[in-house]
Structure 1
Amino acid sequence: MVSAVVRDHSVVYAPRMQDLLAREEKVFRIDATTVGVSDCDLMAEIVAGRPVLATERSVYKPAAGADIPHDSATRTIRALGQDVMAGIRTPPPPARALSGAWPYAATSYLRRWLFASDPLPVSLLSKRGVTRSDTVSRIVDRAVTLWPGSDAEGKCTALAEQIRGASGTQDRKQAIALYRRATATLCDGVAALAGNALWLMGPAREQEGGARDDLTSVLWETLRLLPPAWMLFRKGGDAYTGLHPEIRPTDSVALFPLLMHRHPDYWSDPLEFRPERWAGVADPEKTPAFMPFGFDGARCWAKHLVVPLAESLLTVAFDNGLVIRSPRQEAHIPLRSLLSVRFDAEAAA
């Protein structure tokens, strides 16, 4: 299961990921305190075994020294949905900004498309150059805490309005953390998905003069073969010990959609990129052994936004003649929390 040759080009995984892909067992020990699982039924039982802990969530983990209240989380989801839908309806930025190293160029492009209307310093919260520096991030957070742009009512995104409308310093700090996390998680994830889809579609699309497949099916197949959220981690505990003899009370559990999505027990021609397998599938998430956004009770909070936004991004890329310049045949996937192919692309002038 290591090599996946699709349309005359392939991907090369980081060594530790290659080791995982070479596993034939569906339940296996990774190290002294971690068990890996790619068995469909066992994964469902593990997710149902207990609620997800706050510290296991990427966005709603504690911030500013306190847990994120449920109502704050709900408001953030709704605000982000409003901002994405509003952004998709507006003209996209110039496509030349998509030229460069992917997925980073796509991440910056999405942030500009969706959140550039926010006043300074709020808009800096979503800038990749800021988020890469802890020191600069703290300075920006402090600036936004003191001055959230009170004169910007009606001129900013719904997420930024959450900061402006916070009732006190603690609430504002948490709203800042949610703004930063929500924008980063969404834009990074969509950029990775779109980039993976571009690579999987491959040179054939360029040779056909930009002809495109059904983008929705392309994205669902990309979520199967190269899912950005390729691993889910659950801390150990008694809830899992009775589910499988390999799992001990002290063990944490790593769930691998990447392995499950490529296993021949669940899929025909599992390593082939075949978007047509999703034609006529009304609800792809009900497909057995398919976990692009998690199981019931632990699904991605923004799953309803990811595919439409990625489709809009790909449409902009194709309409403006975006082509992959390098590498041409073999791209590397580093060991990161998001699985994403790295390549350089160029949009038509």
Structure 2
Amino acid sequence: MAPAAVRDHSVVYAPRIQELLAREEKVFRIDATTVGVSDCHLMAEVVAARPVLATERSVFKPAAGADIHHDSATRTIRALGQDVMAGIRTPPPPARGLSGSWPYAATSYLRRWLFASDPLPVSLLSKRGITRSDTLSRVVDRAVTVWPGSGAEGGGTALAEQIRDASGTQDRKQAVALYRRATATLCDGVAALAGNALWLMGPAREQRGARADLTAVLWETLRLLPPAWMLYRKGGDAYTALHPEIRPTDNVALFPLLMHRHPDYWTDPLEFRPERWAGVADPEKTPAFMPFGFEGARCWAKHLVVPLAERLLTVGLDNGLAIRGPRRDAEVPLRSLLSVRFDAEAGS
């Protein structure tokens, strides 16, 4: 299920991902305690078998020694939505910020675009140099908990306002954690999606033709190189009746990456064909397509990802952003987000 090349660009997957792509079975054992699933019907049954656990969520897992309550999660989603919509409507930073190693350059660019208005030290929460260091992250978290700062009148993001409005140290600690997680999850995910799309579109001469419908390009990218390529569910009795391979002690790994490439579900599954989405009113209702999860367990920011990625790509392509150098293969390392790694350069 792994193509040798996408147009004239090839993708070099990490060995563990390559092993998964070589699997022909739709239900298979990965190790002694984990079963992999790429069958669309069984995946839907696994997701529906029980509610997702708090510890299985990337953003709303427990923080500061306590669960994240539903009202806090809802406020965070709404605040992030306000910030993204406001960012899309404002002029972007200079496009030269998109030059460099992707997806890191795109991640930093998005953080500047959406969250640079936040006061110190809140703005440090989303800085990549800070987030890469556990020690610096803890220092900044404590500083923001004690003194979140106060932005100018009408300034700052809605997410930062939640930190400033928190009542008590515990609530502020959770607000800090939600700020960090929400900004990282959104910016990292959008950067990965946009980078994957840029690579799949090919060299600059092909990008001009693909830009007629960037939305379709992004949906096809979500099919062929979905950043959220695996969903993980901890084991339990809820899954044992669904398939004889699954035991009570088994964890279950769901693989949209494999399902999206299976010939039982897709015509020419390894071909990058954005035109397959022409006229599709609601891509998420397409059978065997799970870019953001199933109903009841979908990504909390799914309504923000594609519009923001399209805006990011539009800014880049309007400013001559292109893959740098003659290289025609790119690595996809084993990470929680599936992202192609390459260097890009914006025009002058």
Aligned to 1:282: 281
Aligned to 1:196: 196
Q: Tell me the SS of whatever aligns to 2:294.
A: coil
Q: Tell me the SS of whatever aligns to 2:212.
A: coil
User: Does 1:31 find its partner at 2:31?
Assistant: yes
- Structure 1 residue 151: deviation in Å? 5.3
TM-score by length of 1: 0.98
Structure 1 167/210 Cα, relative in aligned 2: closer, same or farther at 3 Å? Answer: same
- Structure 1 residue 207: deviation in Å? 1.9
Aligned to 1:258: 257
| Distance in 2 (alpha carbons) for counterparts of 1:103 and 1:307 | 16
Q: Which amino acid aligns with 2:198?
A: L
Alpha-carbon displacement from aligned partner over 1:269-300 (angstroms, at most 9, x marks no partner): 00000000000000000000000000011000
Alpha-carbon displacement from aligned partner over 1:293-335 (angstroms, at most 9, x marks no partner): 0001100000000000000000001000011014621111000
| Distance in 1 (alpha carbons) for counterparts of 2:273 and 2:2 | 18
- Structure 1 residue 190: deviation in Å? 0.1
Q: Which amino acid aligns with 1:85?
A: M
| Distance in 2 (alpha carbons) for counterparts of 1:326 and 1:12 | 17
Aligned to 1:40: 40
| Distance in 2 (alpha carbons) for counterparts of 1:75 and 1:125 | 19
Alpha-carbon displacement from aligned partner over 1:83-115 (angstroms, at most 9, x marks no partner): 000000000000000000000000000000000
| Distance in 2 (alpha carbons) for counterparts of 1:311 and 1:276 | 16
| Distance in 1 (alpha carbons) for counterparts of 2:249 and 2:7 | 44
Aligned to 1:165: 165
| Distance in 1 (alpha carbons) for counterparts of 2:172 and 2:243 | 44
CA contact (8 A) 1:153 1:161 kept: no
Q: Tell me the SS of whatever aligns to 1:332.
A: strand
CA contact (8 A) 1:327 1:343 kept: no
| Distance in 2 (alpha carbons) for counterparts of 1:207 and 1:308 | 24
- Structure 1 residue 210: deviation in Å? 3.6
User: Does 1:149 find its partner at 2:149?
Assistant: yes
| Distance in 2 (alpha carbons) for counterparts of 1:81 and 1:248 | 40
Aligned to 1:19: 19
- Structure 1 residue 2: deviation in Å? 2.1
CA contact (8 A) 1:3 1:12 kept: no
Aligned to 2:5: 5
Aligned to 1:237: 236
| Distance in 1 (alpha carbons) for counterparts of 2:330 and 2:62 | 36
CA contact (8 A) 2:54 2:60 kept: yes
User: Does 1:316 find its partner at 2:315?
Assistant: yes
- Structure 1 residue 181: deviation in Å? 0.1
- Structure 1 residue 150: deviation in Å? 3.6
Aligned to 1:216: 215
CA contact (8 A) 1:326 1:343 kept: no
Q: Which amino acid aligns with 1:270?
A: P
| Distance in 2 (alpha carbons) for counterparts of 1:69 and 1:154 | 28
- Structure 1 residue 208: deviation in Å? 5.1
1:127-142 mapped onto 2 (5 Å cutoff)? 127-142=127-142
Structure 2 stretches lacking a partner, 5+ long: none
CA contact (8 A) 1:83 1:114 kept: yes
CA contact (8 A) 1:5 1:271 kept: no
| Distance in 1 (alpha carbons) for counterparts of 2:147 and 2:153 | 13
Aligned to 1:90: 90
CA contact (8 A) 2:119 2:151 kept: no
| Distance in 2 (alpha carbons) for counterparts of 1:245 and 1:213 | 47
Aligned to 1:55: 55
Structure 1 range deviating more: 8-17 or 254-263: 8-17
Structure 1 range deviating more: 107-116 or 321-330: 321-330
- Structure 1 residue 209: deviation in Å? 7.5
| Distance in 1 (alpha carbons) for counterparts of 2:337 and 2:326 | 20
Q: Tell me the SS of whatever aligns to 1:222.
A: helix
Q: Tell me the SS of whatever aligns to 2:60.
A: coil
| Distance in 1 (alpha carbons) for counterparts of 2:30 and 2:95 | 43
Structure 1 68/20 Cα, relative in aligned 2: closer, same or farther at 3 Å? Answer: same
| Distance in 2 (alpha carbons) for counterparts of 1:330 and 1:258 | 19
CA contact (8 A) 1:92 1:113 kept: yes
Q: Which amino acid aligns with 2:287?
A: P
User: Does 1:177 find its partner at 2:151?
Assistant: no
- Structure 1 residue 60: deviation in Å? 0.2
Q: Which amino acid aligns with 1:95?
A: A
Q: Which amino acid aligns with 1:166?
A: A
Q: Tell me the SS of whatever aligns to 2:28.
A: strand
User: Does 1:304 find its partner at 2:303?
Assistant: yes
CA contact (8 A) 1:261 1:270 kept: yes
Q: Which amino acid aligns with 2:302?
A: K
- Structure 1 residue 5: deviation in Å? 1.8
Q: Tell me the SS of whatever aligns to 1:292.
A: coil
Aligned to 1:68: 68
Aligned to 2:345: 346
